[in-house]
Structure 1
Amino acid sequence: LFFAAIASAFGYLQIEEVQREQEAVSRDVEYTQQRLRLRLLERQEQLMRIARELSNRELGADNFHNRAEGILNQYPELQALTWVDDRKRIKASFGAANLPTNQLRSVGSTLPNGETESAYRLAKETQQPVYTQNAAAPGTQAMLQLHIPLSDRARVSGVLLAEYSVDAVYRYGVPSDVSARYAVSFHAADGTLLAGTPLHLRDRSTRWLPWPSNSQAHELPISPVGNGLLIRGQAYRTSLGLIGSGLFWLVSVLSIMTAWMLIANWRHTRQRMQAQQALVSETNFRRAMENSMLTGMRAMDMQGRITYVNVAFCQMTGWGESDLVGRTAPFPYWPEEDHDTLAYRLAEELAGKTRPGGIQVRVKRRDGGLFHARLYVAPLIDARNIQTGWMTSMTDITEPNRVREQLSASHERFTTVLEALDASISVAPLGSDELLFANKLYRLWFGTLAGGHLQMVAEAGVPITQTTDEALDDVDGFAGMPTTLLPDNEAESAEIYLDALKMWLEVRTRYLSWVDGRLAQMVIATDITARRLAEEQSAMQTERAQNVSRLITMGEMASSVAHELNQPLTA
């Protein structure tokens, strides 16, 4: 059984290694094939653009050499570009400088019979680009030909023949990192080597022998050429097989592991005793910490049965741990009048509908007293990340509720007094359009914006601070000057007339420090329209009385003058 296990382990490791190498070779060869495909398609698009220009007669034989020279310089794997008419006669041709003279095509000659002529005829019939791989003659290099038909209004007027050097395609198309790891080569459909240097393949029957086996290989056709051009990748063998040296290392490792296990067993026993002592200490520490907490803690299982309560919870409710553990709803600390409400909330908690802010409930002590508490419920997760129940924390909030109620009542009284005043009161910070406070009368006159506040300050002649960017940040606009130096205890008053309201207002302003520490300005506006009208009527009545008194005085003077004149006349 032992040797069978060793042999199985060796075989499994060898199979895994072979599969891993084969997958790596296949992945890299497929990646190289995709790179070559994209490279050929890119060149094909450029050539098809020239073919369209030739078909539309936008490019003549004179300019063909310039375009061909430019594209051959741009793509080094292209060796020749030939324009063939519909009678297989060569109208123009241009070859690379390194192309042998016996492979150049002369203008006016016709295409020879063979694979080139067959591909030419197939391209004209299908009106689609056709790739063909010609067999290399002695003293010539292998060429990959691309025939692109020149379509002129549903009629083929010839073919643009592009010839690639297979060796250049291999040199420029295969990534350098792939060629560094594998022996990559190009082959024809019959297995003829076209480019690259392949490794020698061993017979498949000797692949699983314990000595170094042959390298893994993978072969794919190069698209869009098809099966006429194949790419083959073979992995280099850099080390001995695993089985050749694995037995020695396995026996050594087993011997070391046996000695190590004896020592580790002894150390494990010691560590287990130390861990047990540490666990007891940690448990005692956690128990002391739970008993020292002021917040009540309660644990329930998934059915709502109490499984744990700490000392603070027992002290709050007055019930002992033995009285609460194991109990189900209704619990003894529930008030009788709240049973239905608390049972509904407990059902929601067990269903997972917990509230992040907690819930406020009334709790009954054992002596019958009631107090307000806030409960926070969270899932109880064990060490295996499985929920085993619900954990509840309870805090006595009787005193905070009393303080909050007093503050709320005080604020309500203060707000009621301000809203009942017959004067408009508004507060705004200096240098800002924000309105900090406005009573009911201000909102009735000016709305909820600070425009009325600023208008009253401006018309009353009180200097206001221009709105700047300092209102948007925490920059001290007073350069450190204490706000206590400002006249916040003396109010300035003025009487203004607002056309929008058609009334006279008495405006009083003063500075104060707002609750957030900002310096603010309070404006109190009182309607004095009736008083101003009464003053105007009193002034008018006084003026009439003065006019009547003057008239009476003038009448008396006229009577005296007439009497004085009558005395000489009478004499």
Structure 2
Amino acid sequence: MRSPPEPTAGHPLPLVSWWQRWWKRQTPPLQDSVAMLVPMAAVLLFLAAIVAAFWYLRAEELERERESVRRDVEYAQQRLRLRLLERQEQLMRLARDASNHEVDAIEFTSRAESLVSQFPELQAVSWIDDRRVWRATYASPSVPPAQQHMAGDLLRPGDIETHYALARELAQPVYSQPNATGDRTAPLQLHIPLFDQGLFAGTVLGEFSVDGLLRYGIPPEVSAKYAVSLLDSTGKLLAGTTTNSRSPAESRPLPWAEPTNEYEVPVSPVGNSLVLRAQAWRTSLGLIGNGLFWLVAALSVLTSGLLMGTWRHTRRRLAAQQALQAETNFRRAMENSMLTGMRVLDLDGSISYVNAAFCTMTGWSEEELVGRKPPFPYWLETDTELMNERLEEEIHGRALPGGFQVRVRRKNGTIFPARLYVSPLVDAHGHQTGWMTSMTDITEPTRIREQLSASHERFTTVLEALDASVSVAPLGSEELLFANKMYRAWFGSDTVGHLGMVAQAGAAPSPSHGNDLDDVDPLAGLPTDALTAAQLANNEIFVPHLNKWLEVRSRYLTWVDGRLAQLVIATDITARRDAEEQAAQQADRAQSASRLITMGEMASSVAHELNQPLAAISNYCNGMMSRIRGQQIDTEALLGALEKTVKQAQRAGQIIQRIRTFVKRSEPNRTPAEVATMVSEAVELAGIELKRRNVRLNHYVAARLPTVHVDPILIEQVLVNLMKNAAESIDMARRPPARRTVELRVVPRRVEGHQAIEFAVQDTGKGLAPEVMERLFEAFFSTKAEGMGIGLNLCRSIVESHKGRMQAENLYNGSEVVGCRFSFWIPVDGAPDSVATDDRSPDWTATGQPPAAAGKAGAGSSIS
């Protein structure tokens, strides 16, 4: 006896050995029975499995049929809904035009006729105003005359009137429920409210044929597979066909009969008042009457032997299929995630493939595009000829490598710009099968480019319209980067004028900056600080060949190509310069007039002052004549009397000469002057008026004051005016003799860190009211009845022309005003221009006090 073979991997030899041993122990009849029953049992089990599988597959089939019906009905419902929404949008657009008074009744009827003829499901379009009057209407010729409305009729009570009121109340489109009356179904009505400036202005009524909606709104592939019908809210058939003519309540199917495969869904946006139902035409024969069952039962015996042989082969193919499916899904996911639209044309020009991005851009689905031949639905009608030419170039391989720009129309009618790139589509064998086109939406780049172009146009228009010359030129080059119209009119199209203005402006002193050479690089002519922080430089120059004065402003900037450039703006200020010269001449005349007025007011005091030396001269002469006649005078006495007479005559001459010098009109002459001399001459002139008003003058001039560079006559005019006004203020206040005092103080002070001389005139009058203080230095403003209002204004102008400032303030003793103080300061020689600015309201807080030694060393006097 041979020993049993050793067990190997994958072969359960112990079980086989046990079966062999058991089989050998059985009798031959039993072996025959087992040999027959075991295959039969296997076949029965297989048949049982087949039956169970058929029942299961039948259930799955029914479920798939129900799912297919549901999916197709929902797809048909979406198509029908989209069609209703499109018609609703078109009617709303017509309603909006009617609300805006852009269409009248005739135009409305014409547009309604166009809509009715274009869309067969639309039976009639009407316009009902806010008074319930049919203003305009158009109905399809298929509508019976009894159901048509006439313009001018009044809206009768009924469904239309009810939904008219509902649309007015809800202020939004309202659908009415269609009802089957007699042999004809009532149309589906859509009421769209009209509003004029927020007020209800009527409705636009659209009437849809229910049968037309079913016929044209349901896809043909759905109508071919199912019995499609439209029902009302009660389940009554409005349009379409059904597999069961009886109502659902009357239909009693047999227990063994399979239920009708149908699905119902309400039509949006109409709502539950309109229901879409689809019933499958064909039903299964059942399991028992299915010949396929018996065929499978017969073939199952034949195929059972083949199943095991093909099982391994199926496993290998399944694994390859799963790998291929995974690769396909991966590539499909990449295509769907792309933002670039992809389109494939075959060699005949038909669309064979589009990706999701292409469908998203155009709004057309893949089913609507694949297989289409030109003209494609996303082409513009006006661009059809151009697009055909582009397509011919594309098919014949003449497309531009850089692509070309086209206009694409979306399904909703909007248009956007796109750029197309074309390349040949080659398969794995190297054969060209078509053309691959990629499309990119360039709406945003186009918008940005148009905005930049419009911005550049506006910028150029503004610069060309300027009354000033604008030019830009790079440093170290004679290239003119930009020049506006005014520059070209003045200087032409080269940089001669630009460089000439820069050179002349650089040589002229800047009115806003000093001439310190440390701030300028003499080699390059550039500021030593950072160019980005360089301030705008202003200069006024005269251009001989234009015979114009120009204000030149320049600054440095970085040009668009990164080069350093200089911007120069030149403005014609010839008229302003002429006006300034005339104003200066008028100011000189006003100053002379002011001095004449002052001396006119002081005429009586001057006459009284001259009367004293003239009377003394007369007395001396009469006395000498009497003593000479009586021979009572000797030579020494005569000489003494003559010397006194000469002194009195000189005094009178000095008074007259001082007055002539004061009132004589002359051009401003700024010369180095001593402060003490100017003060003494002003005190001598004003002292006459103060004596006449019985006012005592105390003046103090600090010692060792520096020389100032001024026009002495103008400064004396200011002092005389201030002292004269102080005396008048005291006289008007009717102060007692003890308080009739004017004090003049001249002391050094520091203003903004620079040396200056301060002149202050203080009186003991009633001071200035707040409203007077605000307008004190205005021209032609005066508190005196006979005043002209030019004295203080001229004084301020004189002081500011000397780069100084003037102020006035009241003096207080507690809450009582005890006087007023007028003061002004003049910078000494060497003070920079920054000391005097154009600010009319400077901070007049004291910035410096005279040194203590100055009070001891100063010179003072008193006039009463």
TM-score, normalised by the number of residues in structure 2? 0.29
Q: Name the larger-Rg structure.
A: 2
TM-score, normalised by the number of residues in structure 1? 0.43
Which structure carries more relative contact order (alpha carbon 8 Å, separation 6+)?
1
